[in-house]
Amino acid sequence: MEMGFTIKDVRDGLAKGHFTSEEIFKTYSDKIKKDNKKLNAYLSIFDQQSQTNEQYYITNFSKQRAPLFGIPCAIKDNMLIEGTIATAGSKILENYVSAYDATAIKKLRKAGVNFLGKTNLDEFAMGTSTENSAFGPTKNPHDLTRVPGGSSGGSASAVAADLCVFALGSDTGGSVRQPASMCGVVGLKPTYGRVSRHGLIAMAPSLDQIGPLTKNVYDSALVLSSISGQDVFDSTTVPSSIPDFTKNLDKDIRGLRVGVPKEFFGEGLDREVEEKIKSTISKLENLGAKIIEINLPNFEYALAVYYIIVPCEVSSNLSRFDGIRYGHSSKNAKNLLDTYLESRSEGFGAEPKRRIMLGAYALSSGYYDAYYLKAQKVRSLIKKDFDEAFKKVNVIVGPTAPHSAFKLGEKVSDPLSLYLEDIYTVPVNLTGLPGISIPCGNGATSGMPIGFQIIGKSFDEETLLRVSYQLEQALK
């Protein structure tokens, strides 16, 4: 599949005068109008007039210094762009107009980007296939009968089909990395606290993190540098300096210690994925890295922990949808209680309903200790496993997902089987660590892209990206 323009390509093209930012925007815009019908990657598209960013980059940067000047990009539809619709993939927000810019959006504006539109997602980012969107599923550009992964499936599909230069997604349990894996692009979840979530429609705030989906590792580093940093509107953002993440990509990885958890190669991992992951690990060895087998004894409990913590936070978060202040309000309500009951019943799809109810149950009187508290204790043990492992290694590697992209409709009737898609990505969110998925070739059986996951130490995206970049070059 033709990857199209990277950020660097567009910057070069603009610098050499091959095209103007207006022309490159129009090229993408026209392509979206033509191809989006078959992919359903975008839920809404913008025209260039609506978003001249002049006031931003002229006051803050000169054009040359704006690192993403003129780059056409796509945004997952759970992030707010002032004056435009943000649906979060839900009927309940079908007509919701964003009152302000998310911090990540403001930062991208300052960096000079142009927004092409908003991309499809599982409703409120709850899902692993984008089939839970209230606005129809997104298709995988490598095979239109298959899912793009999820929940940032629209963003991943748009990047893979070259319907944008890069996209933003959000990752609560794998929602950037898993679709990146299934669509053959690079997906990064930064360390929890690196990127502000202000203006991201919350799913599970103790886990949510915004991250870029890009065509290569260099672009990923470039976008991360632009969206990182402390924000007064998100008190979980950490006051640390933001390095230029592209600076050390070129340095070799000789002597670097790479951990391979034994537990990642157990039951449930597809044969074709295992083959690719193992051959990629041997590529790292060829690059001079030292491969070390490690143990994550509590890995098998991560998904169960996740499916307590997430529903609990979801049930609390989504209580704001009451049919009163914004969003869908039922026409059938006769009294105040009806307004809640009917509006939520009509507005939410099946998966949010499941998670809200699961959370309400787990947090209800008498169950808190057995579920929520128990889960947070096991989470503590999982964190300890990673802390121990990182005493011995610099990065941890393995598969991003247990298999390549599956067929549309194949798993939709079994929520638990869709949950299992995130088995390798969820522990990274529970521990707040940074993780990335990079394409490592196509499966021998399915012919579909397979993602290689690299997990870094807390706030060490630099090493994470350097390993990714070196590996990417070796895989070419």
Partner 1 sequence: MLTDKEVKHIAGLARIKISAKEEKSLKKDLSSILEYIDKLNEVNTDKVEPLYQTTRLVDSFRSDEPRGEFKMDENLNERLIGQAPHQQNRFIKVKSVLFRK
* Residues recognised as catalytic: 76, 151, 175
| Distance in Å, CB of 241 to partner 1, minimum | 16
- Closer by beta carbon to partner 1, 2 or else 416: 416
Q: How many residues does the chain have?
A: 476
Residue 266, token pair as written in the block: 């157990």
**Least distance from partner 1 to the Cβ atom of residue 195, Å:** 12
Looking at the DSSP assignment, which residues form a beta bridge with residue 44?
Answer: 118
Q: Which is nearer to partner 1, 264 or 307 (CB)?
A: 307
Which residues have C-beta within 8 Å of that of residue 388, sequence separation ≥ 6? Answer: none
- φ, ψ dihedrals at 353, nearest 5°: -60, -45
The tokens 């005493």 sit on which residue? 391
- Angstrom distances, CA of residue 472 to CA of 9, 30, 36, 441, 476: 17, 31, 29, 11, 6
Shortest approach of partner 1 to residue 329 CB, angstroms? 4
Apex 80 CA angle, 77 and 83, nearest 5 = 110
Amino acid identity, position 189? K
How is residue 334 written in tokens? Answer: 């006769």
Is the Cα torsion angle 163, 171, 224, 179 positive or negative in sign? Answer: negative
- Shortest gap between Cβ of 133 and partner 1 (angstroms)? 19
Which CA distances in Å does 237 have to 177, 197, 214, 228, 314?
21, 9, 23, 9, 21
> Residue 314 is encoded by which pair of tokens?
């979801």
Closest CB to partner 1 among residues 59, 62: 59
Closer to partner 1 at the Cβ: 357 or 474? 357
Q: Which is nearer to partner 1, 225 or 298 (CB)?
A: 298
What are the helix (H) ranges across 102-163? 103-111, 153-160
Residues that bind partner 1 (CB under 8 A): 96-97, 99-100, 192-193, 206, 232-233, 235-236, 238, 298, 300-301, 303-305, 307-308, 315, 319, 322-329, 333-342, 344-345, 348, 350, 353-354, 356-361, 364, 371, 373-381, 383, 415-416, 419, 431-432, 458
**CB of 331: closest distance to partner 1 in angstroms?**
10
